[in-house]
Structure 1
Amino acid sequence: MTIKTMTTASLAALILGSGTAMADTWRYAFEEALDEVQGVFAQKFKEEVEANSDHEVQLFPFGTLGESDNILEQTQSGILQFVNQSPGFTGALIPEAQVFFVPYLLPEDQDQLVSFFRNSETINNIFPELYAEQGLELLTMYPEGEVMLTTQEPVTSPEDLADTKVRVMTNPLLVESYKAFGATPTPLPWGEVYGGLQTGIIDGQENPAFFIESTNMYEVTDHITRLGHNNFTTALMANKDFYDGLPEEDQQVIQNATDAAFEHIIEYQQGLTQESLDKIMEAKPSMTITELTEEQRAPFRETAGEVEKTFLEIGGDRAQEVLDQMKADLEAAANS
């Protein structure tokens, strides 16, 4: 029996063991490897917590406890205290979080993007209420990098995506977004993507450059296209019962560690995209990297209105409020 197939109860027994040795250990799972963006964030969080309290933070990188849906369930049930996960996987649970998959909504300008994530009323006031309804304390959201499309054939227009099976996260709005782009969106667990590209089950996938490089996705695709359509967003959450039950000083330790990790990961990402693309080209000189011109992006950008309408239909009871406030937040970031 693998960890992926374990029941929640048996997994809890495995992690928790017996006795009180783990009483001051906080368990934190994330969707990437230890040396990738979420892992770097997690290590800084761990360092800050352990330097400023008697608690230990135990880290569980991707695959240790299963797929993304597994670690979210484990956090909701209290087996894990913290989980770092993209709204791409929580979108079905918290439909309003799918707003991050409306294409061309987030800015490409890095300073504007960081200002938005620091100061957003949507992130700081609306989303915590929505996450709390699902037993989660939203601690922060942060960007991981420009999303790029990797495919077997070059892409310069929506017509080039006709009949192209693009792997997407199990997120309804992301599915609609790629349909609007002209592709055939194919939800697939991350652990099956490399093999799916090898065997032709899928023809492409999207991720930031660092993840394309670190997971060797360039080995099984030939073209990288920079559509400029999105930036990968992720969120750090805690089990709400756990968090609410902590003394105020421990809650402050967590908030301080979260803030420090946020600033650290923003600095860490400076130059990371270009560095990752350079590594890809060094490993595979035949790879092409195409940044679409504004003229080439225009037909992709035109689909944003259609996807936005879909978001308002499937994005939950507060979809309009979330979209309106997010646009106001983005305008404020642009003028800051």
Structure 2
Amino acid sequence: MRFKTLTAASMTALILASGTAMADTWRYAFEEALDEVQGVFAQKFKEEVEANSDHEVQLFPFGTLGESDNILEQTQAGILQFVNQSPGFTGALIPEAQVFFVPYLLPEDEDQLFRFFRESETINSIFPELYADQGLELLTMYPEGEVMVTSDRPIGSPADFDDVKVRVMTNPLLVSSYQAFGATPTPLPWGEVYGGLQTGIVDAQENPAFFIESTRMYEVQDHITRMGHNNFTTALMANKEFFDGLPEEDQELIRNATAAAFDHILEYQQGLTESSLEAIMEAKPSITVTTLSEEERAPFRDTAEQVEATFLEIGGPRAQEVLDQMKADLDAAAE
């Protein structure tokens, strides 16, 4: 008994004296598969952490721990240390994050878009405070790709959305956006979407091209429409109590791994949309891929002001501040 006590005390003294943190296993869940964008980001994060420390990162792709709301709750409870999740699912918790669903707000130009995500004051200063209020440390936000609409009928104007049930995430502003487009938005958990499209519970859905390809949504849809209305945004978060309790060197380790994964995922995405569309058309030659002209986009673009007004109503106490700063950030990125 005396020998064990002395050994434990000696070990503690050695660790404190050297300043070395004990190796831990950190659990990280995300909304996609390992070979999709969030999975590629997560693997790079894991690689960086494990190459520069004795810690291990366990990755949990979509479905292994439940739906998106489940993994967020598990992170807030401290069961998971990290979660990668779209503001589409955190909108009810952090209403200001719904700003990413105002249509035609984010730029289509890739360089400008990437510059915005790197330098945005909204992302780097305002959102961390809002996420912290919910027990989350916001580590980064990044884009995943141009959002496209898949449907069982061609979409060329708001009139074409009449009576079309579009599957959307459980996000009030996304619902408002598709209502403004003339569609019937239908919130549905992702695990039910393929079957819903197959059986007619929903007629359409939106996602980036890589996700449409990897989940084989094109098998149960006949048309893809590039409306240019948005780019899918996601966020990496940590449980704040966990993060704040780490030694400074581990916090720096996580920030560095996040930065490396951010750079990696932007590089990975270059050309991804076009290669994914090519793969879809090769797998299903009958599918149509239509890019709407500026003239065709105009009536959709005209709904942005209406959706902005809705955001200011439901986007939380700092909605106006977030919208104003985001527009200033986007202007700076365009210069």
The TM-score, its normalising length taken from structure 1, stands at 0.93
| Cα RMSD (Å) | 0.8
Matched, 1:36 2:36: yes
Take 1:328 and 1:51, find their aligned partners in 2: how far apart are those partners?
A: 38
Which residues of 2 match residues 175-194 of structure 1 at below 5 A? 175-194=175-194
For 1:222 and 1:94, how far apart are their aligned partners in 2? 35
Q: Match of 1:150, SS?
A: strand
| Counterpart for residue 302 of structure 2 | 302
**Distance between the aligned counterparts of 1:293 and 1:149, measured in 2?**
15
Q: Is the 8 A contact 2:67 2:189 kept in 1?
A: yes
- Aligned counterpart, 1:218: 218
Counterpart of 1:115 in structure 2 is: 115
SS at match of 1:26: strand
C-alpha separation between the residues in 2 aligned to 1:117 and 1:124? 9
- 3-state DSSP class of the match of 1:66? coil
- CA deviation vs aligned residue, 1:217-274 (integer Å, no higher than 9, x gap): 0000000000000000000000000000000000000000000000000000010000
SS in 1 for 2:289: strand
For residue 83 of structure 1, what is the aligned residue in structure 2? 83
Letter in 2 for 1:117: F
CA distance in 1, matches of 2:328, 2:50: 38
Matched to 2:203, the amino acid is: D
Alignment correspondent of 1:160: 160
Instruction: Determine the C-alpha separation between the residues in 2 that align with 1:190 and 1:294.
Output: 31
Partner of 1:53: 53
* Aligned residue runs from structure 1 range 223-238, under 5 A: 223-238=223-238
Tell me which residue corresponds to 2:134: 134
2:330 counterpart letter in structure 1: L
- What is the aligned partner in structure 1 of residue 172 from structure 2? 172
Q: 2:243·2:251 contact (CA, 8 Å) conserved in 1? A: yes
Which residue is equivalent to 1:98?
Answer: 98
Larger Rg: 2
Q: Measure, in 2, the Cα distance between the counterparts of 1:300 and 1:141.
A: 26
User: Counterparts of 2:23 and 2:76 in 1: how far apart (Å)?
Assistant: 18
Could you tell me which amino acid in structure 1 is paired with residue 254 of structure 2? I
Question: Percent identity over the alignment?
Answer: 85
Name the residue aligned to 2:315: 315
**Cα offset, 1:23, TM superposition:** 6.8
Distance 1:182 1:105, change over 3 A: same
Structure 2: how far apart are the matches of 1:306 and 1:287?
32
In 2, Cα distance between the equivalents of 1:67 and 1:188?
11
User: Which residue type is aligned with residue 196 of structure 2?
Assistant: G
Which amino acid in the other structure matches residue 332 of structure 1? A
* Aligned mates of 2:237, 2:260 — CA distance in 1: 15
SS of the residue corresponding to residue 332 of structure 2 reads helix
**TM-score normalised by the chain length of structure 2:** 0.93
Q: Residue 185 of structure 2: SS of its match in structure 1? A: strand
| Alignment gaps of 5+ in structure 2 | 1-21
- State how far apart, in whole Å, the 2-side matches of 1:77 and 1:145 are: 30
Spell out, residue by residue over 1:4-62, the C-alpha distance to the aligned partner (whole angstroms, 9 max, x if none).
xxxxxxxxxxxxxxxxxx97100000000000000000000000000011100000000
Amino acid at match of 2:87: P
Match of 2:9 in 1: none
Q: Which one-letter code corresponds to 1:233 in the other structure?
A: T
Cα deviation per residue 1:154-202 (whole Å; 9 max; x = unaligned)? 0000000000000000000000000000000000000000000000000
SS at match of 1:186: strand
1:331 matched to 2:331? The reply is: yes
TM-superposed CA distance for 1:114, in Å, is 0.2
Amino acid paired to 2:111: D
Q: 1:297, CA displacement in angstroms?
A: 0.1
Match for residue 250 of structure 1?
250
Letter in 1 for 2:226: R
- What is the match of residue 143 of structure 2? 143
- Cα deviation code 1:259-311 (max 9, x no counterpart): 00000000000100000000000000000000000000000000000000000
Listed one character per residue, the Cα deviations across residues 291-333 of structure 1 (whole Å, up to 9, x for unaligned) are 0000000000000000000000000000000000000000000
Q: Which amino acid aligns with 1:186?
A: T
Structure 1: which 5+ residue stretches go unaligned? 1-21
Match of 2:13 in 1: none
Alpha-carbon shift at residue 139 of structure 1 (Å): 0.1
